């Protein structure tokens, strides 16, 4: 299958694209159950940029359309520290790109990226258990459900995959 997307780390110049996602109620419905206000989004964005500096291969990425170079979402392969053996995987897409298989492509690229870094032996993902589409993508990618629980007062499911 021909690649339709590529990943590129967020930079200080990309806040507007990030805010298109987190400021969108539809996108955030199964993540925070609310759109993120501008001041909170700016704070979060600074945390994202700082985390992305921990390791060259890990952090927060823009999901870009190969044919148009348009921003279509964000992807996360986050470590807590440079020597971490575990990474967290996540993604958000603008609603126009839902249901087109792009989530599968993002997950596949992130898993390949994690496998390329020999230090990672486990990937986790946290979703809303009602997010059937994301759950299906993760299960089909080899993740297993570890636990359904409440996370910061919201419904959550933690999935993982050993690599």
Kindly give the parts of the chain with pLDDT less than 50: none
Domain total for the chain? Answer: 1
Structural domain harbouring 153 = 5-162
Rg (CA), the chain: 15
Supply the pTM of this predicted model: 0.92
Contact 98, 124 (CB under 8 A): no
pLDDT for position 1:
65
pLDDT at residue number 2? 81
The domain that holds 126 is classified in CATH as 3.40.630.30
- pLDDT of amino acid 133: 93
């Amino acid at each position: 299958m021909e690649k339709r997307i590529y990943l590129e780390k967020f930079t200080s110049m990309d806040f507007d694209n990030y805010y298109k996602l987190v400021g969108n109620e539809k996108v955030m419905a199964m993540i925070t159950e609310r759109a993120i206000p501008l001041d909170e989004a700016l704070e979060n964005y600074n945390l994202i940029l700082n985390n992305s500096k921990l390791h060259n291969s890990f952090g927060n990425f823009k999901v870009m359309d190969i044919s148009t170079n348009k921003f279509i979402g964000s992807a996360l392969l986050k470590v807590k520290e440079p020597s971490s053996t575990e990474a967290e995987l996540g993604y958000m897409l603008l609603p126009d790109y839902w249901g087109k298989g792009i989530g599968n492509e993002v997950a596949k690229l992130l898993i390949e990226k994690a496998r390329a870094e020999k230090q990672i032996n486990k990937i986790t993902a946290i979703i809303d258990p009602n997010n059937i589409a994301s759950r299906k993508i993760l299960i089909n990618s080899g993740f297993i459900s570890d636990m359904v629980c409440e996370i910061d007062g919201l419904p959550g499911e933690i999935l993982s995959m050993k690599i």
